[in-house]
Structure 1
Amino acid sequence: MEIIKYLENDRVYLRRVEQGDVDHYLAAVSNPNIRRLTGTTDFLTREMLENAINKWNENDSRIDLLICLQENDQVIGDLAIVDIEHRERKGSFRIAITDEQYTSKGYGTEALRLIIDYMFNTLNLRRISINVYAFNARAIAAYEKLGFKLEGTLRDDLFFDGQYHDNHLLGLMKDEYVK
Structure 2
Amino acid sequence: MAVMTSIWTGRKIRLRGIEPEDWKALQRFDEHTADMRNADRIHPPRSAAGYRDWAANQATADATGDEFRLAIETRVDQTLVGTLSANDTDQRAGRFSYGISIGHDYQRHGYATDAAILLMTYLFGERRYHKCEVSMYAFNEASIALHRKLGFQLEGQLRDHEYFAGHRHDLVIMGLTINEFTARYPFADVG
- TM-score interval w.r.t. the shorter chain? 0.7 to 0.9
**Shift of residue 93, structure 1, vs aligned partner:** 0.3
Q: How many residues end up aligned between the 2 structures?
A: 174
**Shift of residue 41, structure 1, vs aligned partner:** 2.5
> Percent same amino acid at aligned positions?
27
The higher radius of gyration belongs to 2
How has the CA–CA distance of structure 1 residues 114 and 28 changed in structure 2, closer, same or farther, with 3 Å as cutoff? Answer: same
Aligned to 1:133: 137
Counterparts of 1:118 and 1:86, CA distance in 2: 14
How has the CA–CA distance of structure 1 residues 6 and 63 changed in structure 2, closer, same or farther, with 3 Å as cutoff? Answer: farther
**Shift of residue 94, structure 1, vs aligned partner:** 0.5
Residue of structure 2 aligned with 1:54, choices 35, 47, 57: 57
Q: Is the 8 A contact 1:29 1:40 kept in 2?
A: no
Aligned to 1:170: 174
Deviations 1:75-99 (A, max 9, x none): 111110012222322211011111x
**Shift of residue 105, structure 1, vs aligned partner:** 2.0
Structure 1: unaligned runs, 5 residues or longer: none
Q: Which amino acid aligns with 1:40?
A: R
Structure 2: unaligned runs, 5 residues or longer: 1-5, 186-191
Aligned to 2:161: 157
Counterparts of 1:48 and 1:132, CA distance in 2: 27
**Shift of residue 108, structure 1, vs aligned partner:** 1.3
Counterparts of 1:10 and 1:124, CA distance in 2: 24
Deviations 1:10-62 (A, max 9, x none): 32110012333233332222311212212413215246553586379237341
Matched, 1:101 2:105: yes
Deviating more after overlay: 22-31 vs 10-19: 22-31
How has the CA–CA distance of structure 1 residues 72 and 51 changed in structure 2, closer, same or farther, with 3 Å as cutoff? Answer: closer
Counterparts of 1:53 and 1:162, CA distance in 2: 35
**Shift of residue 162, structure 1, vs aligned partner:** 2.2
Counterparts of 1:38 and 1:25, CA distance in 2: 13
TM (normalized to structure 2)?
Answer: 0.80
Counterparts of 1:128 and 1:54, CA distance in 2: 27
Counterparts of 1:41 and 1:144, CA distance in 2: 26
Q: Which amino acid aligns with 1:78?
A: T
Q: Is the 8 A contact 2:22 2:55 kept in 1?
A: no
Aligned to 2:83: 78
Q: Is the 8 A contact 2:20 2:55 kept in 1?
A: no
Q: Is the 8 A contact 2:95 2:130 kept in 1?
A: yes
